[in-house]
């Protein structure tokens, strides 16, 4: 015994409800192609967070789902867990987890897929620091970044101190790749480090 359903749509604003669309009458089919009712999207997330990727599927018979990363099928193990509903949970996400995660669903009547493009942001590695020249009371410093191109640098911090002195800190804009430390004590040894 098959039931029939009627559907129509109206739009509402503060002024009131508008006219409806025409009424559509339909009987549900027992043959429904596999479809995903989640949407593909891009996600930017900080590292060491947990991430959930939803792949809500519909269809009759119920579709099976498969997750892939870089063309390889993902299994529930370690940091990756796939629920019975098809949701992928990633624990303690790392920069190496960046990429396109594709959820494929399929049944005997059809198939569908969505893609999550994941970008994991991690703190940058410290730049490689070198002393270009030394004067009586100054040092000309230069650095080279060792970071991934998809991680924007917001700025640099130069920390320095005399032996047995206190650390001092200078903030440098992100476009710079060198700096001259001035007002240093002649003949004194200094310790230096930089951060991005």
**Which tens digit of pLDDT belongs to each residue from 9-26?**
999 999 999 999 999 998
Residue 13 token pair: 């604003």
SS3 state at 96: helix
- Confidence (pLDDT) at 146: 74
Q: What is the pLDDT of residue 186?
A: 85
- CATH assignment of 128-195, among 1.10.8.420, 3.40.50.460, 2.60.40.10, 3.20.20.140: 2.60.40.10
Q: Tell me, yes or no, if the pTM score tops 0.85.
A: no
CATH architecture label of 29-121 = Sandwich (2.60)
φ/ψ of residue 114, rounded to 5: -135, 160
Burial class (CB in 10 A: 0-12, 13-18, 19+), 107: buried
Q: Which of 23-27, 43-47, 178-182, 189-193 is predicted with the least confidence, judged by mean pLDDT?
A: 189-193
The per-residue pLDDT for 187 is: 83
Domain with CATH 2.60.40.10 in the chain: 29-121, 128-195
Condensed to tens digits (0 to 9), the pLDDT of residues 62-116 reads 999 999 999 899 999 999 999 999 999 999 999 899 999 999 999 999 999 999 9
Q: What is the pLDDT of residue 150?
A: 63
**Cis peptide bond upstream of 2, omega within 30:** no
What are the beta bridge partners of residue 114?
Answer: 103
pLDDT in tens, 144-169: 887 666 667 888 898 888 888 899 89
What is the Cα–Cα distance from 164 to 11, expressed in whole angstroms?
73
- Quote the pLDDT of residue 145: 81
Provide the β-strand partners of residue 110: 107
DSSP 93: -
Cα–Cα distance between 31 and 41 in angstroms, integer? Answer: 29
- Which pLDDT value is given to residue 30? 80
Give the closest residue to 97 by CA, choosing from 55, 48, 56: 48
Distance CA 105, CA 66 (A): 6
User: Which one is predicted more confidently, 82 or 123?
Assistant: 82
Q: Does 127 have pLDDT greater than 90?
A: no
- Please give the DSSP secondary-structure letter assigned to residue 28: -
């Amino acid at each position: 015994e098959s039931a029939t359903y009627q559907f129509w749509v109206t739009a509402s604003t503060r002024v009131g409800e508008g006219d409806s669309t025409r009424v559509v009458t339909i009987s549900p089919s027992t043959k429904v192609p596999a479809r995903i009712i989640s949407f593909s999207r891009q996600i930017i997330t900080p590292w060491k967070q947990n991430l959930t990727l939803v792949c809500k599927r519909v269809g009759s018979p119920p579709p099976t789902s498969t997750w892939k990363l870089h063309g390889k099928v993902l299994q529930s193990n370690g940091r990756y867990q796939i629920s019975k509903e098809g949701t992928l949970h990633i624990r303690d996400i790392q920069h190496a987890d960046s990429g396109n995660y594709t959820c494929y669903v399929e049944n005997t009547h059809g198939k569908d897929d969505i893609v999550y493009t994941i970008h994991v942001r991690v703190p940058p590695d410290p730049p490689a620091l070198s002393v270009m020249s030394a004067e009586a009371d100054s040092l000309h410093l230069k650095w080279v970044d060792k970071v991934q191109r998809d991680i924007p640098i917001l700025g640099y911090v130069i920390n320095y101190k005399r032996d047995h002195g206190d650390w001092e800190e200078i903030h440098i804009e992100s476009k710079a790749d060198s700096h001259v430390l001035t007002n240093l004590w002649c003949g004194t040894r200094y310790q230096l480090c930089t951060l991005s």
